[in-house]
Structures are given as C-alpha cells and as structure tokens.
Structure 1
Amino acid sequence: MKKILLPAVIIGVTIIILVRLFYLQIIDDTYIKKSENNALKIVYEYPERGYVFDRNGKLLIANQPSYDIMVIPREVKDIDTLALCNMLDVSLEDFNTKLEKAKKYSPRLPSIFLPQLNKAEYAAFQEKIRHFNGFYIQKRSLRDYQVTAGANLFGYIRQVNEQNIKNNPYYRSGDLIGVQGIEQQYEDVLRGSKGVKYIQRDRFNREIGSFKDGIYDTLAVKGSDITLTIDSELQAYGELLMQNKRGGIVAIEPKTGEILALINAPSYDPGLLVGRERSKNYTKLYNDSLAKPLYNRVLSGEYSPGSPFKILTALIGLQEGVINEHTTFSCNRGFFYGQGAWMGCHDSGTFKLKHALAISCNTYPSQTYRRIIEKYKTPSEGIDKWHDHLASFGLGQFLGYDLPEGRKGHIPDSEYYNRWYPNKRWKSTTTISNAIGQGEVIVTPMQLANIMAAVANRGYYYTPHIIKNIENHDIDKKFVTKQTTTIEPKYFEPIIQGMNDVFKFGTGRSVQVEELEMCGKTGTVENFTRINGKRYQLADHSVFVAFAPKEDPQIAIAVFIENGSWGSRWAAPITSLMIQKYLLPEIVRPDLEKRMLEGSLQNEYDKVVQLQQIYEKPVE
C-alpha cells in the first residue's frame, strides 16, 4: 500500500501543477497583461469628456486636444539630454527633477514629463521623438469653455494626485479628474472609459505586434453628455449684475426644483483653469483671501437670514393656531419683552399679519414666536416643535442637491439651549431673536431659495438639482420626489398676499414691475467681524427673496449681498432684474439695471481691510 501511495501522491501533485501552469500560460493571460510585465507595452487611448449643455441646448463646455510628453524611466537610455532640454525649453535641473519624480512613481510605468503641449510644440517633438528612447506623446483632451460665466458651478479638471490613484484603480499617473462643481459630481459619467492596447515586445525590447492578435484590446468610450438645468443667459446676466459685489444668487424653478442660476461673486473666467497656466492661475485665485473667488458662498456661506425668516415664523404661527390672518399686534418702534430688554423696530402702529409682512415689522413675528414657544408646557417642547417645522423646509440640514460641497446651517433645538443653559433657565424671550432671523438661526443662500420654492408651491418642494439629463443614464429619483412641509396649504395664502404687498406698498415697492405680479421679502442682516478678539460692526448684509408670478410661479430666487446695507438697496433691485430677465422679453426697468451695473461695494470691502490694518497686532 505504501509503495503505491507515494507514487500516487507525486503523480497527483505533478498533474495539479501542470494543470495550473496550463491554465496560467494558455487560458488565463491576466498575469501577462499586468503593466509591469517586460514582454508587453501598454498604450492607453483617452476618451473625450462628455459635453455640457444648458437647459435650452446651448453648448457650455466642449473639449480641445492636448498632448502630454510621457516618460518610462527605465527605458531612458543613450539620449542627448541637452538637445531634449533645448527643444522643450526645460533646464537640465528641471529635467533631472522630473525624471527622478517619475522613477519614484515607477521605473516601468509611464509618468507625465511635460504636460499640455500646444500644437506647435507637439509637432516639433513628434518629428524627433525617435531619438529619445523612453519618451512618447500621450494625446488627451482638455476643456474648451464656450462661455465665461459659471466657473463656480462647473468646477475644473486637473491631474490626479497620489490619493486619487490610491482610492480608485481606474486612475494612473497623468490622468485627469474633475474637481469641484459638476466636473466632480458627475466625474464617473463625464470621463468615459479609457481604451487599452497591449503590444508584444521581443527580448530586445522591440515591438513585434499586438498581444494575442489584439483580443484584449479595448476602444476608448467617450464620456456621456449632460444637460444642466441652468439657463446660461440668466447665469451670465446674474454674474454681470454682481460685478464689484460679493455674495450670491440662487434661482430655482419651483415646480421641479431645477436650479436656473447659481451665481457666486466674485467669480472668474473658467478658462483660467485650463492649460499650462492652470496651476499659476489657481494659486493666484486660491491666495486671494479677501475676495475668495473660489469660495462657494451660495452653498457654503452661512449667514443669519434676517427678515425673510419672518415668513416662516408667521407660517408656523398659523399652523400652530397661535395667530390667524386677522390677529393684530401693536408696535411702538419696538416693544419690551423682559426687564429692560427691548426689541427695536422701524415701524409704529397696530398691524395685521399681511401688513406686518409688507412693512417688515419686528414686533409682529416676535410676539408670534413667543406664542409658539409658550403654547407648550415647557420651552424645550416649544422650541423642538418650532425646530421640526423648520426642518420640514430643509433647514438645519444638507438639502441633497447634486453639487459636492456645502454647509447645513443651524436651527437650534432644546438640546442646544440646554447645553448653553445647564440649569435650563431659559424661555421664549431668551431666544426671541430667532423670530426675526437673527439669534442662533443660520442658513445658506441655497436654503433661502428653497424656502421660496416651498412657499411658491404652497407647502412642498423638490430637492434642488442642477442635472436635467444624462446621456444613456437616468437621473437620481430623489430629484423627482416631492418633499412636503408640515404647514397646510391654506396657511400660505395670507403669507403670499403679504409678500405681494411688499411690492405694492411695502419695503420692495421701489423695484416693482407693472408687467409682473411678484411676491417677495426684504432682509437687512447685522454683520460683525472679530479682529484680535474684539467685535466690530460692519455694514449690514442686503437680502431679498421672491418668486413670480404670484399665480403659477416660474421662478423662486434668493439674493444675498455682503455689506450691502438694507435689503431694498442692492438685493431687491438685483432680484427684480433677474426675474425680469427670465420672465419678460426685455428688461422694463433700465433705471435699476443701470444702477446695479454701475454700482460697486468695493469701498465697503476696503473698510474691512483698513480695520484689519489698524487693529490687527502680531501675536508676541
């Protein structure tokens, strides 16, 4: 038995080894296709990125050819280094640095040596490339912008870094990837798929043809085209109006949640981040710590909302049954709400709800807020109910829009105040500034625009989004799913009438348009800065929110102007002009347009710099 067992084991093991070798060498060729195999040269073909169109079919972003000089360090032998440096206008020191960097990545894999040659540089190098072993040209495509507006929402493309390569095996050194905006959000569909060719080499490193007759080769697949919800003319007009100002504009189609315009100011020409000058231009934009052109104020800017928040206070008051449209409150330039505590106001008289909204009385929403909180047994219960109503409008949370950045703002609840007041000795008057959009309430301009969409729809909204269509793909179902607020539709009617009165006789009467029934609300937001720990008050922020037409609304909009003083001064005219641009054949208030186009707030921004220069002291 032992005599038979040993030979049987040897024969069995031998058969297993032979079968495995047959499988690896004849059937499974994946090992030989690995990029560091000496017998193969792998050549990649890079696809065009998908084109980008606006909602009306206008081409916004196309592509242009680009040529990178690639290097495989271990193949760099017997070349005239000086001649190559002269041809490419590269110093010998730079040559050695670039080559050393490529070796660190991989001696056998290709790395970018010199990116983005123009056609003339490409032609000159292509003519003499045979003299420079280890170097070859890789064709790619760069973005070709057809418009100068929209940089903040487009994003840009750049070379992948080590972290990108580590996180995703699709990318290799020299590949391009979308960063910020839609380029990042829709990278997977825009980039397409690389084509691959496997070329067999002999022992002298000479190319002898396709590996396995090309059965493993693949063709590049162009990225999918996408259509945005953006109206490019409205976008460009908004950026024009925001010249020499800082802030943001968001316009949404209420019925769908489609973003019609998303403007950050100041902005920049997206073409600055294309080509050999991209790095230098990006550094300049990034280092502008005053204007912050790369900062997305619409999505990441967190501000007190000011008086537009009074709309929500009134809606919650109606829903909670603590007021109705006929409820009146008296105001005498404000009111006392505690021992020596005074809430100021610019109005005087006894007002009903609609009138109070139109003239932006502070007393009315403050008294309403007190009733909301005090309706419940404890302030904690009241504030949590108030918080839940606001959460149903998307406040205090990320809205779920399809752009890869943003902040969620802040809506305080009982847990928040219990941390600040451990003995729980707080009440409605402790937090009364919340009533008028000050206090601890923080929102983004995007959230303000979404509130307007929900009001325009009488109680529901769709998640704001910037994608309208993706070639050969479906868009996310959440963008067509209705989000319902906790406020019953009937309570929106008196609020909407009060907002309409804002234009008829209220704080927005100076920007009214006879051709349109608009509904809106002004806002003036206190603005402070800290320098060396001391608090300084600056010019107020100017805010305006609106939708139009009153019946069957087509556009909801929020405009936020930093240091713009009262809401009717800057934000209201810009809001009116944006609505005119979108809904009317032409601008019918050229007086407003002239003032906004010629107006500048640079003096206000310079004051901040002057304050810093005067009061900032170096830390010893």
Structure 2
Amino acid sequence: MRKLLLSSIIVIVTLIYLGRLSYLQLIDNTGSPLDDTAIKQVYDYPERGYIYDRNGKLLVANQPSYDVMVIPRDVKPLDTLEFCELLNITREDFIKKYEKARIYSPRLPSVFVPQLSKEEYAALQEKMRKYDGFYIQKRSLRYYQTKHGANILGYIQEVSDYDLKRNPGYRPGELIGRQGVEEYYEDILRGRKGVKFIQKDRFNRDIGSYKNGLYDTLPVPGKDIELTIDNELQTYGEELMIHKRGGIIAIEPKTGEILSLVTAPNYDPSLLVGRKRSKNYTKLYYDSIANPLYDRGLLAMYPPGSPFKTLTGLIGLQENVITPESRVTCYHGYSYGNRFMRCHCASGTVNDLRRGIARSCNAYFASTYRKIIEKYPTSAEGLTAWEKHLRSFGLGDFLGYDLPIGKAGNIPDSDYYDKAYGKRRWYATTNISNAIGQGEILTTPIQLANVTAIIANRGYFFTPHILRKIDNKPIKDKKFTKPKYTTVDRKHFEPVAQGMFEAYNTGTARGIRVEGINIGGKTGTAENFTKVDGKRVQLTDHSIFVAFAPVEDPKIAIAVFVENGYWGSRYAAPIAALMIEKYLKGEVTRKDLEKRMLEASLEEEYAKPYSGKPFRINE
C-alpha cells in the first residue's frame, strides 16, 4: 500500500512538472522576449478598415503618418537645440516629453512627437542616426474623401491614461476611435498590430531577430465596413441646414437603415486629423454658441409638438375611445376649465380623425386624450395605459442603435404627477398638453423619425442602425433584423397614414407638394423656453416636420427639426420635401423650395438674447 502511494505521488508530481514545463515553453510568453531587457519590441501597425457609404462610395481611407519614438534608457547626449528645431518644439517641450516617457518606462518605447507629415518625415529621417534612443514609427491616419458626416464618422486620437487602464491591449501613443462609427466599431476597424522582437548585445546594439522570429507576429488589417448612409443625401441635408441649427434623420422603414443623420452646425472631419487635431478640437469644443460637436439628431430633446397627435389618435383607436369616423366640433381651439388651447381651425369646424390630423385640430386630440385617461377608474391608471403604448414606439427610452451617444427623451408617468400634485389630485386636464406633444413630453429627432417609420410600416419597426456590411458581408445581428411590434393593432394605422397624406395634399403641408410623389406628413411647432435673469422666457418656437413616402410603398421616413424656425411649414416641411425628392428621384424639381432653403439663414434669430413671446398656434 505504501509503495503504491509513493509511486502515485511520484507519477503525479512528474505530470505536474511536465505540464508546467510544457506551458512555459509553448504557451506562456512571460519571462521570455517580453520581460528580457536585451530584447527590443518593434510594433507593426495595421491599416485601419476603410469606411464606405451604402452605394459603395469611399468615405474614409488612410494616409501615412510618422511618430517619433523614444526609448529613454537608450538616449545619449545630443544637440537638443537642433533636434527641437527639426521637430518644431521648444526645449521645455523636449524635457517634458522625455520625462513623461521615462516615468512610463525607461526601456519601453513611447511616442515623443506624434503624427509627422510626409514632408516633416523626409526632413528628419536623414538625421535620425545622430539621435540614439530615437526612431521613427510609421502609422496610418485617416484620410477623408468627404467633408460631411463628421458626427457619423467620428475621428481617431491618441489613447488617454483612462483608455490604457481600461484596455490593456493598447500602448501609449496608439490611436483609438472617438465618437461615431470610429468609436462604436473600434474593434472591427482597428485590426491587430504585429510585433517583432529584436535582440541586442551588451553594447545595446541590434544583433538580429530574437530566436529567428519565433515570437514575431504579423499585423492584421482592420475590416472594411459599409454604412447605411447615403452620402449624397447626407451632403444635401447638411447644405440645406447651413446657417440653421437642428437635425435631420432619414430612415428606410423596411429595414431600419439610417439614410442620413444630419446635425447642424457640423464641421469638416479632416479638421481632426494630424498635429493640428488638438488645436482644432479645442476650438470646436469651446464654441458654445454653435456647438458643432453636439449631435442634435441624437442628443437634443425637444417637445415633439403636433406630430405627436398621430400617436394620440393611434392610442385612442386602440383603447376604443374613438373610431376613424368619430367627430369633434372645433371652436378655434379647446376650452378646459378657465383655460383655452388655441388652434387654427375655423370656429364650428367638424373634424373626424383624418381631417383632425390634416388640419392639426387641438380640440380633436385634446378630447381624445381625455377619453383615454378617463376610460380608467383613476387618472393614474389611465396614464399608465397611455405610457405603455408610447414606450412600445421606442419613446422614453434608448432605441439601441449602433452609435455611442443618445438620450432617452421623456414620457411622464403617473409617479411624476403624483409627486408634483399628490395622489388622486390630478386629472386628464392637468396635463392635457400631452395630447398635442407639449407638456413634459420630450423626444429626440431620431425617436420621432422612428415613430414615423412605424406609421409607414403600419405598426412595426426595426431598430435604427448605421452598419450595413462588414468586409462586404451583410450584417445578421437579430438586434437589427428582427421586427418589433407596437401595442397598437395594424388596422388602426391606415386612417392615421391617410390623415398624414391629407395634411400634405390639402392640409397644413400643402405648400410643399412634389409632382409624382405621395407623401404622408405632419407639421409641428414646439414651444421653446430658456431662462433670462432667472426668469422663464419663451423664445421663437422650433419648426418640426415628419413624413414618409411614397404613402403606398414607403421607402423613406424622415424627421426634421429646425431650432427657432417659427412654424413647421416654414422651414422643416420644405427641407423634408426636398430630402424626400432627392432620395426617391435622385434630383430636385422644386427649385423654388430649394433656392429658398439654401439661402435661408436664422443666424440673426440665434444672435438675439431672446425673441420675446411671439404669437403661437399649434400646427
């Protein structure tokens, strides 16, 4: 028994020893080239993946760039004045950069001066042999084939200390994606760097590849991606929004693919490339007037205004409190208590659902909202049912699109009003402005575009997304390819869609008609407030328009917001009509609208401290 036990112990110890030895030799690299002070690592950085639009147009490529690297322990006395002149830096900069590199690691390479141009590199490379401890590392920077879509594309910059702590695969001086698809799809676009291990002798001279390149790896290029964006449409949208502020979101309803994502003002993406990137970024960042780095299409939250009436109608139909034929007589607005919600219907106008949408009748939708809330035993229960329907449209929450920024918007719930007024102390009339997209409701432009796509699809949507293909292979992520259905039955969407067509054909949007295209649209005006000297002041309202086309077979759904643009039909509706015609026809026939929008400027409006309190009607 003792012999058996002893033999077993010997066998087990031997197996453990052999296993550990095999692991150290075949798998574990620690203690071999990486930790040996006589081994130098030279990285070979891959090309970042190219970015194309949906039609195969190249948007972002690469251009060569050169970093001056330093290994502090290898640096020998040098003519710092000459070296600084070559690099266009001061002696103080030299000392600061060297100390930073030395603190990071005396024996590992650090970026000393990043992103030299080809001209700077040519002037420097011949003299680099004079400066021991310094060498040039080739990388690639972005080269933009477009001046538009900076908010979509994003940019790349040197990793920060925070990045290094969070991502051990990066090293100081490496580049990482920021904002847009560069950030969201960093892992796909980045590729994988290669490394060569060079052995040094006792005089610190290179003597050849370590172990004949046993541990060397080749770089793996980043993957190319194709976006859902139509670059022509994106460019046109940005041109239409010059001298204006706001956002345009266009979506293909049948797929959820984002066709354009315009924020205004925007900037030329090439400004954030090269050694001037930091200076240009600082200038853009501190422009607190125009806020060009602020993506209004994804981040700005506005009251949706009258386009929200379509949702009030849909919920009213689903809750069986109205039918498409239900009629309401409007006396130039809606009266409740001692208050009056004005609209532009003539006194005595009788509207059903279709005409109520076409004429943007406040009385029709305020009475519908009351019926929804008052259907239930308590206002809280009624509002909960209303809120549940809205959330199924993607409101009050993040949509889940593939971009790194966004806002959830706001759909108030019963708890909000309980806290504000007390339980059972508020009623439908307390928050009846919700009926027309005012009150506490806030949406982002992309959310409202998605709602419009849902109406176009008659009840379902695909999560909006911006990636179409990776290395020419279509994406198959169920997150973006599986339809999501609302709580409103399909049958209820047709009368609402027809009401939107009537708004375009004979109603509030009739001035933007385009020959040969049936458009379903809804104008809107959103109240705009700010604080001046601590007081709440009403500014000029925002102009809003949502639309889809063609009504019979929708290929585009769009939402346009123009800040301080007065009413929906003044700026937002013409811009939307031009975008729709441009996408569907490839050209624009409404040259009158085009000329007016291209030349229109709201800069004087934005320059005012506030616009007073203009007369407002809800379109």
TM-score range, shorter chain: over 0.9
Deviations 1:564-585 (A, max 9, x none): 0000000000000000100114
Residue 476 of structure 1: CA displacement? Answer: 2.3
Which position in structure 2 is the counterpart of 1:345?
Answer: 343
What's the % identity of the aligned pairs?
60
Which position in structure 2 is the counterpart of 1:584?
Answer: 585
Answer with 86-95 or 19-28: which moved more. Answer: 19-28
Answer with 121-130 or 17-26: which moved more. Answer: 17-26
* Structure-2 change in CA distance of 1:20 and 1:521 (3 Å): closer
Kept in 2: contact 1:524–1:541 (CA 8 A):
yes
Which position in structure 2 is the counterpart of 1:170?
Answer: 169
Residue 560 of structure 1: CA displacement? Answer: 0.3
- Separation in 2, partners of 1:129, 1:58: 40
Task: Give, as a single letter, the amino acid of the residue that structure 2 aligns with 1:601.
Answer: L
Task: Give, as a single letter, the amino acid of the residue that structure 2 aligns with 1:297.
Answer: R
- Separation in 1, partners of 2:297, 2:175: 27
Q: SS at the partner of 2:345?
A: strand
Which position in structure 1 is the counterpart of 2:303?
Answer: 304
Deviations 1:347-401 (A, max 9, x none): 1312111111101111110000000000011111100100011011000010000
- Separation in 2, partners of 1:53, 1:575: 25
* Corresponding position: 1:479 with 2:477: no
Task: Give, as a single letter, the amino acid of the residue that structure 1 aligns with 2:154.
Answer: G
Task: Give, as a single letter, the amino acid of the residue that structure 2 aligns with 1:293.
Answer: P
- Separation in 1, partners of 2:472, 2:116: 33
Kept in 2: contact 1:197–1:214 (CA 8 A):
yes
Kept in 2: contact 1:36–1:108 (CA 8 A):
no
Task: Give, as a single letter, the amino acid of the residue that structure 1 aligns with 2:361.
Answer: C
TM-score normalised over the length of structure 2: 0.94
Kept in 2: contact 1:224–1:472 (CA 8 A):
no
TM-score normalised over the length of structure 1: 0.94
Which position in structure 2 is the counterpart of 1:270?
Answer: 269
* Structure-2 change in CA distance of 1:365 and 1:201 (3 Å): same
Task: Give, as a single letter, the amino acid of the residue that structure 1 aligns with 2:523.
Answer: T
Structure 1 portions without partners, runs of 5+: 1-7, 612-620
Answer with 538-547 or 496-505: which moved more. Answer: 496-505
Residue 32 of structure 1: CA displacement? Answer: 3.4
Task: Give, as a single letter, the amino acid of the residue that structure 1 aligns with 2:142.
Answer: R
Which position in structure 1 is the counterpart of 2:520?
Answer: 519
Answer with 393-402 or 466-475: which moved more. Answer: 466-475
Residue 80 of structure 1: CA displacement? Answer: 2.3
* Structure-2 change in CA distance of 1:27 and 1:388 (3 Å): closer
Residue 17 of structure 1: CA displacement? Answer: 12
1:199-210 pair list within 5 angstroms: 199-210=198-209
Q: What do you get for the CA RMSD once the two structures are aligned?
A: 2.2
Q: SS at the partner of 2:77?
A: coil
Kept in 2: contact 1:32–1:40 (CA 8 A):
no
1:443-592 pair list within 5 angstroms: 443-471=443-471, 474-592=475-593
Deviations 1:323-368 (A, max 9, x none): 1111111111112212x12222221312111111101111110000
Kept in 2: contact 1:373–1:428 (CA 8 A):
yes
Task: Give, as a single letter, the amino acid of the residue that structure 2 aligns with 1:460.
Answer: Y
1:342-381 pair list within 5 angstroms: 342-348=340-346, 349-381=349-381
Structure 2 portions without partners, runs of 5+: 1-6, 613-619
Residue 301 of structure 1: CA displacement? Answer: 0.5
Deviations 1:435-487 (A, max 9, x none): 00001111000000000100000000000000000128744221001000111
Kept in 1: contact 2:379–2:424 (CA 8 A):
no
Moved over 4 A (4+): 14-29, 33-36, 472-475
- Separation in 1, partners of 2:380, 2:611: 44
* Corresponding position: 1:156 with 2:163: no
Q: SS at the partner of 2:609?
A: helix
Residue 29 of structure 1: CA displacement? Answer: 6.2
- Separation in 1, partners of 2:35, 2:597: 61
Residue 425 of structure 1: CA displacement? Answer: 0.3
* Structure-2 change in CA distance of 1:432 and 1:24 (3 Å): closer
Deviations 1:108-167 (A, max 9, x none): 221111111111211222112111111011110000000111001111000000110111
Task: Give, as a single letter, the amino acid of the residue that structure 1 aligns with 2:597.
Answer: M
Kept in 2: contact 1:523–1:542 (CA 8 A):
yes
Kept in 1: contact 2:33–2:197 (CA 8 A):
no
Task: Give, as a single letter, the amino acid of the residue that structure 2 aligns with 1:522.
Answer: T
* Structure-2 change in CA distance of 1:592 and 1:472 (3 Å): closer
Q: SS at the partner of 2:403?
A: coil
- Separation in 1, partners of 2:423, 2:493: 38
* Structure-2 change in CA distance of 1:173 and 1:33 (3 Å): farther
Residue 514 of structure 1: CA displacement? Answer: 2.2
Kept in 1: contact 2:334–2:362 (CA 8 A):
no
* Structure-2 change in CA distance of 1:535 and 1:392 (3 Å): same
Residues paired across the two proteins, number: 602
Which position in structure 2 is the counterpart of 1:618?
Answer: none
